[in-house]
Amino acid sequence: MDRREFVRIGLTAGAAAGSSRVLAAPSVAAFKFGAGGILEAGVREQQQMMEAGKLTSHSLTSQYLARIRNIDKSGPRLNSIIEINPEALKIALEMDRERMLKRLRGPLHGIPVLLKDNIATGDRMSTTAGSLALNGVRAARDAHVVAQLRAAGAVIIGKTNLSEWANMRSTHSVSGWSARGGLTLNPYSLDRNCSGSSSGSGAAIAANLATLAVGTETDGSIVSPASICGLVGIKPTLGLVSRSGIIPIAHSQDTAGPMARSVADAALMLTAMVGVDADDEATAESRGKMADYSAALEKGGLQGKRIGVARNFFGSNPEVDMVIERALQDLAAQGATLIDTEVPNSAKYGETETEVLLYEFKADLEAYLKKYAPHAPVANMADVIAFNKKNHERELKYFGQEYLEQAQNKGDLETPAYRDALLNNRRYARAEGIDQVMQQHQLDALVAPTGGPAWLTDFINGDHYGGSFSSPAAVAGYPHITVPAGHVQGLPVGLSFVGAAYSEALLIRMAYSYEQATRHRRAPQFPASVSLSVR
């Protein structure tokens, strides 16, 4: 975007907002945002422009909507956005009006945000989890996290595509595909996968289609697409962010979290998202433990920290290991003490994790539909299975619904097999897992590769994950942050920081220090495939 276009859009937005004053032309200093311009800029930089009268929320939102048309719906056709909010520009104008009246709501005032399409909005958009069974179904009201973001002044500009039913439909699924939204493409290599299930959120923020996005995770669905798309992703402690109004997999692991281009942006967004919710009893545990996470954005946050290197999560890809070994050197250079170790008992809950998810998926889905979509044509898991069979040409064209069928065959949440599996998960992921290794070595955090680089999308064989560090924190319900650490053949790779419950501020402090010392984020160029000469 050249300078004339920037000024023209800003002036047009000011007129549309009913402003009587002419916006001043931006100074040269206003354009120090890198190759991506204002759309690549972070929350604080965008706010500075708006505070200086050189940008409006309406013009910023308009530019993102134009980029969605040019990048997502044409050009490389990323297909990351499943629906645009028809009220986005109206909301942006209202935020501009409040700004003129000096009624700022906080750091996210007027900032464009995308939501994953399993997060309920009580507006004109549908909430579908990518399923045609819920196509056109509007939620009865906002999810708690959406209400929090609206109260903070965020402009909800649309919903992102996802792996259908948050990737809990088939044992041979293709991440990033839904019957409603189609396939989301990876902006770093269009023939490769974004990972799931927050694939649309990952691709959209990497490609500068909004400032921020919300993803959701049960096991890896924030941190994996964030890592693969060169982003920062935060999976919070279970209960720090309310789960009410989010189409579920499992209440014992589900959480929403921020996906952003920087640690600072993710921290600002997390601060707006947290809150005690009377409709989600797990959030009661977070009372008194929430924070303004922007206070953790200090350089020097690695000095004196003891960090455990989880060596049993290395070895899946030698080139990834090389990237992370360099990251370890950077951590040490910033004053961290590194201790080689392993996360114990991580192999003891693989099967029981799946068992718990199946039981809870059946029960939790029915509860969500009853409360947020009582008017939907499906009311439970059996109805969804029947719908998919009836509409198999569109819903089951690439892979089946094995997980839905397995979930339907499970009993209720009083079943001994479920309760035993849940106890097993908590024992080995928490007390005899993360807690044990951190206490033994007096650690502030654990680090490891988040996962492998993006794999080629394959509708015949399904996904090809190349290792993952997501499960220990996911099963334990503990926080996990991924930060860009470098590239393999031009494909992003993330470094994970995992900590004890409610240690978000500490992890953010360390992640921010690492990010500021290394700055590995590169905006994507949308190549058709990877060039093997790129390093």
Give CA angle at 238 (157, 128), nearest 5°: 40
Among 70, 85, 155, residue whose Cα is nearest residue 117: 85
**Integer Cα distance of 495 and 508 in angstroms:** 13
**Integer Cα distance of 519 and 390 in angstroms:** 50
Residue type, 529: S
Would the CA dihedral through 103, 269, 82, 118 be positive or negative?
A: negative
Residues 6+ apart with CB under 8 A from 160: 80, 81, 82, 114, 115, 116, 117, 198, 199, 200, 201, 203, 204, 213
Q: Is 235 a catalytic residue?
A: no
Q: Is 163 a catalytic residue?
A: no
Q: Which of 57, 59, 116, 201 is catalytic?
A: 116
Residue type, 488: V
Residue type, 5: E
**Integer Cα distance of 40 and 208 in angstroms:** 6
Say how far residue 241 (Cα) sits from the centre of its chain.
13
Report CA-CA distances (Å) from 254 to 245, 268, 310.
12, 21, 24
Size (the chain), residues: 535
Would the CA dihedral through 208, 209, 211, 214 be positive or negative?
A: negative
Cα dihedral 123/125/129/130 (nearest 10) = 170
Q: Is 197 a catalytic residue?
A: yes
Which tokens go with 187? 């902006």
Which tokens go with 74? 């044409």
| Greatest distance between any 2 Cα atoms in the chain | 68
Q: Under a CB-based contact definition with an 8 Å cutoff, are residues 234 and 504 in contact?
A: yes
**Integer Cα distance of 170 and 125 in angstroms:** 26
Among 59, 55, 106, 64, residue whose Cα is nearest residue 85: 64
Q: Which of 131, 163, 189, 197 is catalytic?
A: 197
* Burial of residue 348, with CB atoms counted within 10 A of its CB: 0-12 exposed, 13-18 middle, 19 or more buried: middle
Q: Which of 170, 173, 199, 221 is catalytic?
A: 221
3-state secondary structure 403-460: HHHHHHCCCCCCCHHHHHHHHHHHHHHHHHHHHHHHHHHCCCEEEEECECCCCECCCC
Q: Under a CB-based contact definition with an 8 Å cutoff, are residues 118 and 246 in contact?
A: yes
Q: Under a CB-based contact definition with an 8 Å cutoff, are residues 259 and 214 in contact?
A: yes
Catalytic residues: 116, 197, 221
